[in-house]
């Protein structure tokens, strides 16, 4: 901001009336020193006094003045009229519009190739070519249609007339990238850096481009403090505020309560089993529970091999010979109570009915039941 200092040929001296008695030489010395100090503080009045501080936009030449990169503040959402957009007075987390312009200047060299630019990083929401875990600035999606989020950046290309020398204009290709950024850093001035990739020629294989990093000039965005410079903090609104009911805590409370109640439920179950011990069934009760059911079904609908297989399983479970065949039980007959009867039942059911395929209807089920009752006493 330009400051004007106009003294109109007179300098207000205030309480200098008491200095009348001083020598005129001392008074002239004091006045000259004071005026020199004020003049030293005044900014120069040349063309540089209209420059913005920090600069907006900032520019950088690349590849021997073949590429000109310009970074500045884009169109301001508040529609205030600034020359290059507002780059100051932002708060923490404010969305700042930024505009990146890349000028591709023509060259007179015949071997010069067309400049290739890669905007893939910006289109994917990254301000750098390498992924950073905690960047100073982050990109914000542009507004889309119907309130939906739009792209990370909007890129356009056109030709413009620019003046490189006095009285000469040249047509150049201009890439314009519009984007939105924000930062949550507490610093009052934050430099925004953007990285792209460009290429002028292909690799020796002739298929892929030889990409190089293009570091844009640092564009400084300043902030204004959210709080004032006072030392007293106001309490603010301390009244009771109504909060909306959240659905997420309910399943968490349910699962947490279930986990906390599991030890209590386990102790309660142990106490009940101690007070009311469960009934322990005898092997005979278990065997006849299955046999009575099988004989009742066979008597009602006729015996099949399935019924005899279930009878065989009940007998083997009672005698604890589930993994032994009839021949193996016969070889160890002396180890079992009433081993001869057990072997006879196993030969009838396992060998004759199931293995040899004796017709089930020809088996005397009455005699079979009588032999089983002699082997397995009823409870």
User: Max alpha carbon distance in the chain (Å)?
Assistant: 152
Chain position carrying tokens 């290059």: 84
pLDDT of residue 87: 64
Rounded distance, CA 195 to CA 200, Å?
A: 17
The confidence score (pLDDT) of residue 95 equals 86
Query: How far apart (Å, rounded) are the C-alpha atoms in residues 284 and 292?
Result: 12
Q: 317 in the Ramachandran plot: left (φ > 0), alpha (ψ -120 to 50) or beta? A: alpha
Q: In sequence order, what are the beta bridge partners of 97? A: 180
Instruction: Give every residue of the chain whose pLDDT is below 50, as ranges.
Output: 1-50, 76-84, 110-111
Calpha distance 134→121 (Å, rounded): 16
92-110 residue pLDDT tens = 888 888 999 999 988 765 4
Copy the structure tokens of residue 264. Answer: 């209590």
Q: How far apart are CA 4 and CA 356, in angstroms?
A: 123
3-state secondary structure the chain: CCCCCCCCCCCCCCCHHHHHHCCHHHHHHHHHHHHHHHHHHCCCCCHHHHCCCCCCCEEEEECCCCEEEEEEECCCCCCCCCCCCCCCCECCCCCEEEEEEEEECCCCCCCCCCCEEECHHHHCCCCCCCCCCCCCCEEECCECHHHCECCCEEEEEEEEEEEEECCEEEEEEEEEEEEEEECCCCCCEEEECCEEEEECCECCCCCCECCEEEECCCEEEEECCCCCCCCCCCCCCCCCCCCCCCCCHHHHHHHHHHHHHHHHHHHHHHHHHHHCCCCCCCHHHHHHHHHHHHHHHHHHHCCCHHHHHHHHHHHHHHHCCCCCCHHHHHHCHHHCCCHHHHHHHHHHHHHHHHHCCCCHHHCCHHHHHHHHHHHCCCC
The answer to whether residues 198 and 115 touch, using CB atoms and an 8 Å cutoff, is: yes
User: What distance in Å separates the CA atoms of residue 98 and residue 181, rounded to the nearest whole number?
Assistant: 7
């Amino acid at each position: 901001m330009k400051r004007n200092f106009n003294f109109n040929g007179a300098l207000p001296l205030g309480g200098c009336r008491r200095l009348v008695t001083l020598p005129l030489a001392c008074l002239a010395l004091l006045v000259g020193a004071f005026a020199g100090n004020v003049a030293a503080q005044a900014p120069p009045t040349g063309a540089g006094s209209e420059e913005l501080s920090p600069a907006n936009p900032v520019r950088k030449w690349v590849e021997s003045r073949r590429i000109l990169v310009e970074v500045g503040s884009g169109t301001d959402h508040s529609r205030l009229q600034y020359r290059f957009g507002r780059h100051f007075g932002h708060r923490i987390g404010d969305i700042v519009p930024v505009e990146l312009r890349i000028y591709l200047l023509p060259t007179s060299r015949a071997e010069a190739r067309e400049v290739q630019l890669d905007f893939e990083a910006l289109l994917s929401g990254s301000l750098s070519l390498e992924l950073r875990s905690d960047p100073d600035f982050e990109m914000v999606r542009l507004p889309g249609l119907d309130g939906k989020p739009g792209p990370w950046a909007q890129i356009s290309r056109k030709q413009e007339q620019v003046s490189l020398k006095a009285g000469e204009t040249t047509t150049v290709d201009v890439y314009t990238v519009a984007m939105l950024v924000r930062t949550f850093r507490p610093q009052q001035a934050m430099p925004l850096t953007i990285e792209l990739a460009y290429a002028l020629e292909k690799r020796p294989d002739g298929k892929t481009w030889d990409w190089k990093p293009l570091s844009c000039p640092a564009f400084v965005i300043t902030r204004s403090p959210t709080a004032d410079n006072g030392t007293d903090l106001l309490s603010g609104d301390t009244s009771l505020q109504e909060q909306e009911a959240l659905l997420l805590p309910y399943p968490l409370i349910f699962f947490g309560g279930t986990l906390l109640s599991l030890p209590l439920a386990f102790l309660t179950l142990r106490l009940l089993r101690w007070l009311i011990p469960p009934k322990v069934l005898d092997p005979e009760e278990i065997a006849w529970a299955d046999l009575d059911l099988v004989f009742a079904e066979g008597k009602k609908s006729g015996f099949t091999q399935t019924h005899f297989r279930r009878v065989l399983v009940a007998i083997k479970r009672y005698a604890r010979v589930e993994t032994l065949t009839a021949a193996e039980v016969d070889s160890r007959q002396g180890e079992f109570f009433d081993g001869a009867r057990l072997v006879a039942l196993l030969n009838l059911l396992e060998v004759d009915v199931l293995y040899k395929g004796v017709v089930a209807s020809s088996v005397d089920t009455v005699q079979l039941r009588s032999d089983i009752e002699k082997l397995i006493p009823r409870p």
